Amino acid sequence: MYSKLSSVLVATIFVSNVLSSPITKDSITALSLPSSFSRHIRVRAEPNTGDEDLNPDEEPHPNKLEKVERAFNDAFELAGYATTVIDDPNRQNIFTKYFNEEDRANVRKVFATIWTQPSDPDAPAADGGSPFLGEIMVQQADSRNLCGDPRLIAYLDQNNAPNDVALVLCSRAFNKKGVTTIQGQDPQGPGAENHYLTCDSIGDNVSFRMNSLGMTLLHEYTHYNRMTQSIFNAPIIDQEDASGNPIGYGPVQVRTLDKALAKLNADSYAYFASEALWTVLCQKDYGDPVAGQDDNDPDCNNTSCSG
Ligand SMILES: [Zn+2]
């Protein structure tokens, strides 16, 4: 019965920490850990937005600013679930679909650094949100004029860090839905399907359907060198082959990528975290992504989104 609930309901229950539904003991255990994370991360650093670039009064609601603010929450939830699943002895197999076992502690540190204080990334009770996130401005303005590429969903311009760091969301990014409650749209109300991912809508395999706006933010966060570069003493990039072709974008490539490169590949983090979150929220194991089916995102020209 529980598995038939939509993830909207599950996520809403989870986020508001009201576990009133008739769910099994196992799922209470699975959900209770991240719920406590939610309480702790309400007071935290997060990126900035500009009133002129993302107008709070834009109609209709939920507007772009509201989508971005919800995505801030979703990115933290994704990072929180990723650390939870890394630590869960019953879910160790998800990690090794993406990364080498020997990188477990440092991959965990990337996620923990994003949603908690970097001074103590092993302390999940901290009022998290890396202070480095506060150096980032999320904007629509395409300052480097790159969004004409129909595959590009977002990019991070950190050439002038720390004083001027832009996380640019291309217009297609706003097609992406999310997980946690969004202001201006009741998760149970009419039109909710346009703004919430659900266990039913994301299908049975790991796929682009899991790609939320928050997942896109998480991808870009991992690129921010001031926040993450010290963990591997190397930047987390988008891996390419010797000819410059991308080999690390989307659900299929992150599974076929050489695992020695995965720890330095942004979408490996984004897709691992998404599989972790949905596996726990929907209490379901997902099939492997199928090329040409699960990586052909219509929002990104029927290919994997790049960013
Ligand atoms: Zn990237």
Chain segment 82-98, per-residue pLDDT in tens:
999 999 999 999 999 99
Average pLDDT, the chain: 85
Q: Looking at the predicted structure, is the pLDDT value of residue 208 above 60?
A: yes
> Quick one: what percent of the chain has pLDDT higher than 70?
82
pLDDT of residue 301: 97
pLDDT of 18 strictly over 90: no
**Half-sphere exposure of residue 258: CA atoms within 13 angstroms, side-chain side:** 8
Please report, for residues 47, 87, 125, the alpha-carbon distance to residue 122 in angstroms, rounded to integers and kept in the order given. 22, 12, 9
Between 111-115, 165-169, 275-279, the lowest mean confidence (pLDDT) is in: 111-115
42 or 210, greater pLDDT: 210
CA of 187 to the centre of ligand 1 (A): 30
Position 265 scores a pLDDT of 98
Contact 219, 270 (CB under 8 A): yes
> From ligand 1's centre to the CA of 223, what distance in Å?
7
CATH superfamily label, 2-300: Collagenase (Catalytic Domain) (3.40.390.10)
Q: What is the pLDDT of residue 116?
A: 74
Parse the chain into domains and list their residue ranges.
Answer: 2-300
What per-residue confidence (pLDDT) applies to 131? Answer: 84
The pTM assigned to this predicted structure is 0.85
Please compute the mean of the pLDDT values over residues 196-206 and round it to a whole number: 96
Both tokens assigned to 36: 């406590």
Q: State yes or no: pLDDT of 242 exceeds 80.
A: yes
Running DSSP on this structure, what letter comes out for residue 114?
H
Ligand 1: centre distance to CA 298 (Å): 19
Amino acid occupying residue 250? G
Instruction: Indicate whether 124 pLDDT > 90.
Output: no
| CA of residue 158 relative to chain centroid, distance | 20
Residue 144 CA to ligand 1 centre (angstroms) = 15
User: Residues within 5 Å of ion ligand 1 by Cβ?
Assistant: 238, 266, 307
Whether the per-residue pLDDT at 20 is higher than 90: the answer is no
pLDDT at residue 283, as a whole number: 95
Q: What is the pLDDT of residues 50-84, one digit of tens each?
A: 989 999 999 999 999 999 999 999 999 999 999 99
Centre of ligand 1 from the C-alpha of residue 158, in Å? 12
State what percent of residues in the chain have pLDDT above 90.
Answer: 79
pLDDT greater than 70 at residue 42: no
Strand 164-169 to 136-139 pairing:
parallel
In order of 78, 192, 198, 206, 235, the CA distances from 177 in angstroms are 14, 10, 10, 16, 28
How far is the centre of ligand 1, averaged over its atoms, from the C-alpha of 143 (Å)?
17
CA–centroid distance, residue 306 to ligand 1 (Å): 6
